[in-house]
């Protein structure tokens, strides 16, 4: 009986893990609500430092991609990826806009606010398909 119980528990655990790893559904990565003050601060910083390339509506421009693209889901580009991109830049890899240079003058707190703004918009507006 214990061996049968162990196999049943193992099968159940595998089913949970497989389900947790499935990232094909747009609703699978629920983004939590963000702090309103942080979002407001992040929007101001985003508009001043990011919107010229990524668009004031986050939908991109001819100089940079949309932050509402499914490629920017938290399971693919974590908040830490935003921090690193802003601090050290990014080599071209998903898009053909060229490399992104670091954004000078932003603190880690500024970047956290920008990320909260982006995540809030992703949560409320959803994601666009990738590739576009």
Q: How far is CA 4 from the centre of its chain?
A: 42
The mean pLDDT of 5-15, rounded to a whole number, is 38
Query: Which residues are CB-neighbours of 95 under 8 A, at least 6 positions away?
Result: 64, 65
pLDDT over 70 at 25, yes or no: no
Q: Is 26 inside a domain boundary?
A: no
Q: Is 93 inside a domain boundary?
A: yes
Q: Is 12 inside a domain boundary?
A: no
pLDDT tier, 83 (very low <50, low <70, confident <90, very high otherwise)? very high
Q: Is 24 inside a domain boundary?
A: no
pLDDT over 50 at 66, yes or no: yes
Q: Is 84 inside a domain boundary?
A: yes
Q: Is 21 inside a domain boundary?
A: no
Q: Which domain holds residue 44?
A: 33-125
Given this model, what pLDDT does residue 29 score? 63
Q: Is 81 inside a domain boundary?
A: yes
In the chain, the number of structural domains is: 1
Look up the CATH number of the domain holding residue 44.
Answer: 1.10.760.10
Q: Is the pTM of this model over 0.85?
A: no
The mean pLDDT of 84-90, rounded to a whole number, is 96
The mean pLDDT of 91-100, rounded to a whole number, is 94
Phi, psi of 100 (to 5 degrees): -100, 125
CA distance 103 to 115: 14
Q: Is 106 inside a domain boundary?
A: yes
pLDDT over 80 at 111, yes or no: yes
């Amino acid at each position: 009986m214990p061996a049968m119980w162990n196999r049943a528990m193992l099968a159940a655990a595998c089913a949970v893990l497989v389900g947790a790893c499935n990232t094909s559904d747009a609703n699978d990565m629920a983004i939590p609500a963000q702090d309103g003050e942080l979002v407001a601060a992040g929007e101001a910083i985003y508009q001043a430092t990011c919107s010229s390339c990524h668009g004031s509506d986050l939908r991109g421009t001819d100089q940079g991609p949309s932050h509402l693209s499914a490629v920017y889901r938290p399971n693919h580009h974590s908040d830490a990826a935003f921090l690193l991109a802003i601090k050290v830049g990014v080599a071209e890899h998903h898009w053909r806009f060229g490399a992104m240079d670091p954004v000078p003058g932003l603190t880690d707190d500024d970047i956290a606010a920008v990320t909260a703004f982006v995540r809030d918009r992703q949560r409320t507006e959803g994601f666009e398909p990738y590739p576009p």
